[in-house]
Amino acid sequence: LIVRSVPSSKRWQEISARRMELIQTLIKETLLNNVDYIFCLDVDSKFHSRWGTESLGGLVAVIHPGYYQDDRNKFPYERRPSSRAYLAPGEGDFYYCGGAFGGLLMEVHQLAKTCRKNFEDDAKENIEAAWQEESHLNR
């Protein structure tokens, strides 16, 4: 188990937004060729049951507890077409939380790399997705 502290910021959104960069860097600098799986969890995650080997998949995400019973039209997807996190009405299957995901190391690395690039490309155009990296994760 490796616990990484996240640098503080004036806005929680900035901490959230840097998550994919931190994961990508951790994989490249520390974990590559040393582990098979990585799971990224918010520090305030609470487990109500056993988490076992059934979670060892290529990419694993947790359905957001605030939306798991809602219809897709209530999910807080990014709805502005100008954002790279955009999901059109009728797209998407579930709404995944940004605070619990993981899987095979290289799959998570690719996910983090893609989310980070899309987030940074949006930022260059002064776009911040509705729920920062969580919006990009859902894309």
Which residues are tagged catalytic? Answer: 134
Q: If you search the block for the tokens 């995901």, which residue do you land on?
A: 101
- Measured in degrees and rounded to the nearest 5, phi and psi for residue 98 equal -80, -10
Q: How far apart are CA 48 and CA 45, in angstroms?
A: 10
What is the gyration radius of the CA atoms in the chain, in angstroms?
15
The answer to whether 24 and 113 are in contact (CB under 8 A) is yes
Orientation angle between helical segments 19-26 and 105-124, nearest 10 degrees: 140
